[in-house]
Amino acid sequence: MKTEKECEATVASMNFIADHIKKVASELDKGSVTDLVTGIMGSKKIFLMGAGRSGLASRAFAMRLMHMGFNVYVVGETTTPAVQQDDLVIAVSGSGETPSIANLGGIAKKIGSKLATITSNKDSTLGRISDIVVIVPGRPKEDVIYEDYHERRMIGYPQLAPLGTIFEISALVFLDAVISEMMVRTGASEAELKKRHTVFE
């Protein structure tokens, strides 16, 4: 028998995440976004990196950049070429402290390439060494704010966006929005992007 509360957590979670993304959009630093777009458009090659679900967001962005016609690669793939000084490395890391990604960011800087980071933590290891930092707020380390936590406990589900969900989804949406920005700036059409989409499906 169905009840009024059936799938209530699903709907509440989707609304919670959607509201957060709207908040991120309203507070986005447009200067850093412009720097990111300019950096992408002025780079010979672009490299994306991230761990876990943040890595999946970075791969989705790499795919869209490929559709736009850029020379883009995912760090860690066997066919990825060497990073050089005229290249841009983009890291996606909510904490900005993921050891493997922070170490790779340091290597990129030593080589002389430009480093951009999408993160929730500007004062992180990656944030401090990056040339471009775009802040995409996520769930704070100390969990959610007090009122929200108890509100969720009272209605029967303690976490509407567990672990790094908030940052990961917000980063994915932001990076897709960057593609839209670049399409507007370059005059690229959806038909042009579709021509570069894989036929091996």
Instruction: List, for residues 91-136, the tens digit of each pLDDT value.
Output: 999 989 999 999 999 999 999 999 999 999 999 999 999 999 999 9
Q: Which residues are catalytic?
A: 168
What is the structure's pLDDT at 155?
45
Instruction: Please tell me the predicted confidence (pLDDT) of residue 126.
Output: 96
Low-confidence stretches of the chain (pLDDT beneath 70): 1-5, 139-164, 199-201
Q: Name the residue with tokens 């170490």.
A: 103
pTM equals 0.84
Instruction: Report the pLDDT value the prediction gives residue 8, as an integer from 0 to 100.
Output: 74
Q: What CATH number has the domain spanning 8-186?
A: 3.40.50.10490
